[in-house]
A and B are shown apart, each in its own frame.
Chain A
């Protein structure tokens, strides 16, 4: 859980040298903290939405000349007191200012935490919050446009309209079920069919746009590397809970790289299983695979080095670590097959049994932490669109079932079940779950009651 009582601070402009750099603070102590390091007007007495020139002091030294923008709660991006300090774009000085803020009680913001607070204070709805994340993450013009559209609520509106139609549809079916004794007109199956068809088309288009979106915006790439038969494919399968890569006991089974996506706490990871790295191989196909593995590894955001704890020497591990350090790569050391291992365990290594699914969650957590703690460049991460996409897929599936049920003239209570499914998955996106509004609709539209 995040602690919303803390005042958070972070660099708001991209890292690196620029003309100016902006540091943002948000929280109940944002102004107070700034006052302690700012020499100029006393900010706490200044009105909201004002700019103030002054100096940031480190003890008696002037660290930088800055302009401070004040936004008082609730009229700010996050809904809390927000201070933006615009300084000169030196990486070193900006870091010093942030450190000063932290020394005076601020906490380093986690990825997305400003946007999360904006959401928690009702400044943005979830779809909008996700769009902000996309906007920050987007690198291409097309992605930015899509994100801007979401931010303006287009996505929310469309979903809302769709859900409304379906609730009406559902209400008509429920009317037939709960009020069959009443003197009311029941649903016209032909109109239903048309409605389902229309919803299906809209949902289909939306899902397609996601598919495109996912190509533009990739997740965090994770290369799983290791010697042949270290258990890479088994680990991949365990993480994904399904049989994708070919698993066997014969070393060198995986001939190509396989990519799958995995959602850990809302962050999308692209898992890349590589052909086993083996230096000398006589098999031509396999050696091509090995070359690809090396390339993949260098391009990945993070490398998971998986080794068999029973057969790997310390020298081998050290050699790998040296390689990672030299290439400046983010990496995790993962010892596999602990189910048959009895020796002492070392710090800094995650011990798992991919086959028995032991401790795999610790690995997931470690990957998540790398992103959350900012060790990995998160510019390419996308927060929860994968969740929306999966829900839309379920929506489409249930629509197909509704159609099939209508075709087979099955009892309407059973069709209603598929409608509930459909509504539930739509609700997963919009956050709606109860059945009450169907009854509300019925009571408002139909004369019910003896």
Chain B
């Protein structure tokens, strides 16, 4: 019934879809297996893409030739550029999306991708021969052969859903979990552990009183994620979100459910993310706070369904309901479904190579929540990299590994492989040491050439990127040369309280001053505007950022170079950690297991403390 595929992707969430699209676009024959064809690319949690650090990841996926940026742009109902008041390294695009349109767009794009076949079934085991994967066995008993397999099982592996004292198996509410794979992988020597995550109740929007909430509108300018020219909604069409707050009364009602809480009663064993706590967790851990913020987010253009961001909970549904009714605007609220917590298996990602291929079984790749991450963006970028490397493995080509200085994707994978994670891993800008360099505005300049060279990013992308690059260079050259007379510039400088010029200067030098803005300067100096002669706002912005932040990027590079001295210290492969008794037991075990190549890698392993690194440094005569 089936041919032999190059790549089988198991699971069709954000990771699985990107993996299938990437491998297929590079030329692999791909089979995408999902338990339910109707739930391809579900937004299981909030209906939004991007945000701080995550928005940068979506742009990186797009720059490499992935689909997440395009899908998000096509299905957005609101756009905001977060952190606009901070430096450009912090600017972070975020969209609110139509959940159904998002999934539909993904499905349309996958169906339009040659080389992608679909099959609805549950994969219950993988076929392994000589420590190499060579296919999968499905619940229906099909044996399907493939040269590589990418597992993106999300929260489905032995998933258990908790609502109050009720608990039942499932991968998402209303969908059954997947069994068999964990046990099989454990028999092959894999380690596994449990994680937990949660989601808030969904509400009938018709039952809410929005006059009691603050509105949060989208931006007046829609930038989007994709570097391709995509037809996006007009700013005026955007949907608003609302903000409301809990109160001590709400907290009191929540507390009445604590004795039935699966979290507090110990029924949930898995670790949840500290940065995405349930409302009961917030009320307990931050008892001194009288209120917590809730974001009321529409689920789409045409649905009345509402997502209550900030109210993730696994308390009994009647407690959820009673508590939420005390929140301003929610007095008469009707539930579509309660919030719940879900526990699932993951495989500590230290068992992977930098390509996301497992160390134990050749050509078997893991991507997404199975690796202990959380978030659509984190999952999608892993799927993309796993898809790329599965294809390249099959073709016998060199792996593609992004460095920490290339992309947030590089930071994410390096963190996963070296540090592993004890809680669902989410990206933060503070995890990246090259934060000023890894910006949302330059992901194309950083990555499109690579994406194109591996046959993923289209010619159109490369052309657009090269045009932008050329424009930016031209603008920078003009600014570097253009002479500015004091008499022309001083009125503008005075207006922004910047010191007056006493002699002729160059436009570029003036632009370096704090508070000077290229657009305003061009308006004040018509001659300059004429000389620059550029209408492409993105190119102008790029040139301005490059000029203004060059010194910081250099500073960052210098610091990273200093830090990299640890990277240069190679630890011999047969290094005997046992003879250094000063190493902590945990550090020794981790070091023996992970076998870091360099001292830098060793220093990033969780459980390897600075004192352990010092000991290694001294031992290595440094």
Binding site for B on A (CB under 8 A): 1-2, 4-5, 74, 79, 116, 119-123, 125-126, 174, 176-183, 265, 408-414, 416-418, 420-421, 424, 427, 430-436, 438-439, 443, 447-450
Contacts and interface: CB of A to CB of B under 8 A. Distances in A.
A420 B87 contact: no
Contacts of B83: 177, 180
A1 B575 CA distance: 12
Given A1-B619, A433-B566, A433-B613, A120 B433 contact: no
A119 B615 contact: yes
Contacts of A125: 611, 614
Contacts of A178: 52-53, 428-430
Interface in B435-488: 435-436
Contacts of B89: 413
Interface residues of B, number: 62
Given A119-B582, A417-B556, A449-B273, A435 B431 contact: yes
Contacts, number: 148
Contact of A449 (B282, B428, B556): B282
A410 B430 CA distance: 18
Nearest to B277: A449
Interface string B17-60: 00000000000000000000000000000100001110000000
B428 to A, nearest CB: 4
B563 A417 contact: no
Interface stretch (B250-258, B346-354, B529-537, B602-610): B602-610
A438 to B, nearest CB: 6
B274 interface: yes
Contacts of A424: 559, 562-563
27 contacts: A4-B580, A122-B582, A122-B611, A122-B615, A126-B614, A174-B428, A177-B429, A178-B53, A180-B52, A181-B51, A265-B621, A409-B514, A413-B429, A413-B435, A413-B436, A414-B436, A414-B552, A417-B436, A427-B610, A431-B614, A433-B613, A435-B430, A449-B274, A450-B293, A450-B309, A450-B310, A450-B312
Contacts of A447: 277, 282, 285-286, 289, 292
A430 B273 contact: no
**What are the 4 closest A-B residue pairs judged by CB atoms, nearest first?**
A122-B582, A411-B87, A183-B293, A431-B610
A181 B581 contact: no
A420 B555 CA distance: 11
Interface string B65-104: 0000000000000000011011101100000000000000
Given A411-B90, A413-B89, A427-B610, 17 more contacts: A2-B619, A79-B582, A174-B429, A177-B90, A178-B53, A180-B83, A418-B555, A420-B559, A431-B611, A431-B613, A433-B613, A435-B430, A435-B431, A438-B430, A439-B430, A449-B274, A450-B309
Q: What's the dominant secondary structure at chain A's contact region? A: loop
Contact of B52 (A177, A411, A420): A177
A424 B603 CA distance: 13
Interface string B259-287: 00000000000000111110000100110
B581 A79 contact: yes
Contact of B582 (A1, A120, A182): A120
B499 interface: no
Contacts of B330: none
A420 B295 CA distance: 33
Given A413-B87, A432-B610, A120 B619 contact: yes
Nearest to A427: B610
A127 to B, nearest CB: 10
Contact of B579 (A4, A116, A438): A4
Contact of A435 (B87, B433, B611): B433
B620 interface: yes
B618 interface: yes
B275 A420 contact: no
A288 B431 CA distance: 60
Given A433-B566, A439-B428, A74 B581 contact: yes
Contact of B82 (A122, A180, A413, A431): A180
Contact of A2 (B245, B436, B562, B621): B621
Contacts of B53: 178
B566 A183 contact: no
A449 B579 contact: no
B610 A5 contact: no
